[in-house]
């Protein structure tokens, strides 16, 4: 027999090779072995333990917040402590809208965080809900003029809002008319007690409404002549009877950017409108912005004025407690947290927004540290963080020339120069301008820029007398050096300076 031949009897019983192992023994059921040796559930549990996600540890802690949104500036509370007098003043003026009359225009003044916008929104919400209750057509439209800061944008935004509302009104009327038409087809007596004498009259009205809807073209945010945008807004607001209150928040920003044309157009609209009426409610941080208005606009806009005074520490404490009861879980705050937040905010002209930001940030810091409660230390950390964020934002938005002057001061301080004077800053400033190919301003102009930095709280500039040598400014930084330098170098224009440090002559103080 050939050595390569296989004896016929050797594997006679191995028709299914899977049933035996390499030595001819029957193969074991592997599933049975696994289930016998290892519990499948244990394997899955072990895999879950090994695959802990990035957020699992963070979610394992008990949350401190119940509803964090209550602490944000955008939230409008159901009750505003210590603002009843101002709210009642607004309500007394605006109640005429519920009688179908035109309310007087209102100007609301007050510093940041004194409850102006929150109070105005609260009153507006009450006005709209009451108008629905008594079936009176009254609407409030809110515009933030810090964002929508040109006449075109204001008019376009208002036009589009009213066009959208008109579409809804037309759609409702069309649904009613089509329903009426279908019933008239079945029984012409259905027209009795309606304003329509025939089926043709119903069809004509449906055609007219569909034409109205098609002709109400939304206004693009750019590209149209301003007078066309104004016409679209005028026609949209006057489409049916209603009283409209237009709330212009940060109204001074609109005047600063675009002049008083928008306010002039809005304030004279009532003399031309046939079916609707408009009232303006302006909100401003600047009590003097009306000084720059046309006398006619000023007289019509400022028919009623309401001033919001700053909150004191006790009032801020009430406001924070009122919000904290809703925002945090029970016993999440130690007793000294709210008084400390109120005290910090009261130092800055009673800014409730600042106090709420402080409390929210303290809560977030405590939650990140997986602490069970918010404590005084968290408030102090939050104060430092908010202050640094403010500095970063102010420095980031400085004009390029101011950034170069500030960078010169930083370089002097980093090289051990104290009691820096204007001449030293100017010498380094000139070198920096050469490095980045920027225009060199005069020393007088640089002195003005230093004064502006002083007003912003970024540097401290004090005029000192040098006797017969005259007077000079001694300058020092009021902000953290490293963080401020990092913000400046993030500017693409100043980024090259990092590797071109100009020579600074060290000076030693006695």
Annotated binding residues for ATP, written as ranges, equal 114-118, 311, 323
Cβ(138)–Cβ(131) under 8 Å? yes
- Cα 218 to Cα 211: distance, rounded to the nearest angstrom: 15
Query: Which sign does the torsion angle of CA 139, 144, 148, 152 carry?
Result: positive
Compute CA 198 distance to the chain's CA centroid, rounded to the nearest angstrom: 54
Cβ(304)–Cβ(93) under 8 Å? yes
Of 76, 88, 120, 117, the C-alpha closest to 245 is 120
Residue 33: CB partners within 8 Å, gap ≥ 6? none
Cβ(115)–Cβ(315) under 8 Å? no
Cβ(245)–Cβ(140) under 8 Å? yes
Pairing of β 471-477 and β 420-421: antiparallel
Of 400, 390, 425, 397, the C-alpha closest to 410 is 425
Q: Report the first-to-last Cα separation within the chain, whole angstroms.
A: 114
How many C-beta neighbours within 10 Å does residue 115 have?
Answer: 26
**Across 63-137, where does the E strand assignment appear?**
106-110
Pairing of β 242-249 and β 138-144: parallel
41 by DSSP, 3-state: which? helix
- Going by the annotation, the residues of the binding site are 114-118, 311, 323
Of 266, 254, 257, the C-alpha closest to 230 is 266
């Amino acid at each position: 027999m050939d050595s390569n031949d296989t004896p016929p009897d050797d594997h006679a019983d191995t028709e299914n090779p899977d049933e035996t192992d390499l030595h001819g023994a029957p193969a074991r059921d592997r599933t049975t072995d696994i289930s016998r040796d290892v519990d499948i559930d244990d394997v899955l549990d072990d895999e879950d333990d090994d695959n802990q996600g990035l957020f699992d540890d963070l979610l394992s802690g008990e949350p401190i917040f119940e509803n964090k949104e209550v602490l944000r500036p955008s939230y409008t509370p159901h009750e505003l402590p210590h603002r009843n007098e101002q709210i009642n003043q607004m309500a007394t003026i605006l109640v005429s809208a519920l009688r179908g009359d035109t309310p007087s225009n209102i100007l609301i003044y007050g510093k940041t965080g004194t409850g102006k916008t929150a109070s105005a929104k609260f009153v507006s919400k009450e006005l709209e809900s009451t108008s629905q209750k008594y079936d009176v057509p009254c609407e409030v439209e809110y515009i933030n003029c810090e964002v929508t800061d040109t006449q075109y944008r204001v008019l376009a935004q208002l036009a589009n809002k009213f066009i959208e509302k008109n579409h809804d009104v037309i759609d409702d009327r069309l649904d009613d008319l089509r329903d009426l038409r279908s019933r008239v087809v079945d029984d012409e007596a259905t027209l009795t007690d309606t304003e329509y004498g025939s089926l043709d009259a119903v069809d004509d009205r449906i055609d007219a409404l569909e034409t109205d809807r098609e002709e109400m073209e939304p206004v693009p945010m750019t590209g149209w002549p301003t007078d066309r945008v104004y016409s679209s807004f005028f026609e949209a607001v006057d489409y049916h009877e209603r009283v409209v209150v237009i709330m212009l928040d940060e109204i001074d920003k609109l005047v600063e950017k675009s002049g008083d044309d928008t306010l002039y157009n809005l304030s004279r609209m009532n003399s031309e409108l046939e079916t609707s009426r408009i009232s303006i409610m302006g909100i401003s941080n600047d009590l003097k912005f009306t000084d720059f208005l046309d006398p006619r606009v000023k007289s019509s806009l400022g028919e009623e004025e309401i001033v919001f005074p700053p909150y004191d520490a006790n009032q801020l404490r009430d406001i924070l407690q009122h919000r904290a009861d809703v925002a945090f879980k029970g016993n999440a705050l130690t007793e000294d947290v709210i008084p400390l937040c109120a005290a910090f905010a009261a130092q800055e002209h009673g800014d409730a927004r600042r106090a709420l930001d402080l409390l929210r940030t303290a809560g977030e810091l405590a939650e990140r540290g997986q602490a069970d409660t918010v404590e005084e230390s968290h408030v102090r950390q939050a104060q430092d963080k908010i202050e640094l964020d403010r500095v970063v934002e102010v420095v980031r938005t400085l004009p390029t020339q101011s950034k170069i002057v500030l960078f010169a001061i930083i370089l002097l301080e980093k090289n051990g120069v104290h009691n820096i004077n204007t001449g030293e800053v100017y010498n380094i400033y000139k070198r920096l301008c050469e490095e980045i190919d920027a225009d060199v301003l005069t020393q007088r102009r640089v002195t003005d820029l230093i004064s502006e930095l002083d007003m912003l709280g970024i540097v401290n500039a004090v005029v000192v007398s040098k006797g017969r040598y005259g007077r000079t400014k001694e300058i020092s930084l009021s902000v953290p050096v490293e963080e401020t330098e990092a913000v400046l170098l993030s500017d693409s224009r100043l980024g090259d300076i990092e590797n071109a440090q100009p020579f600074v002559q060290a000076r030693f103080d006695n």
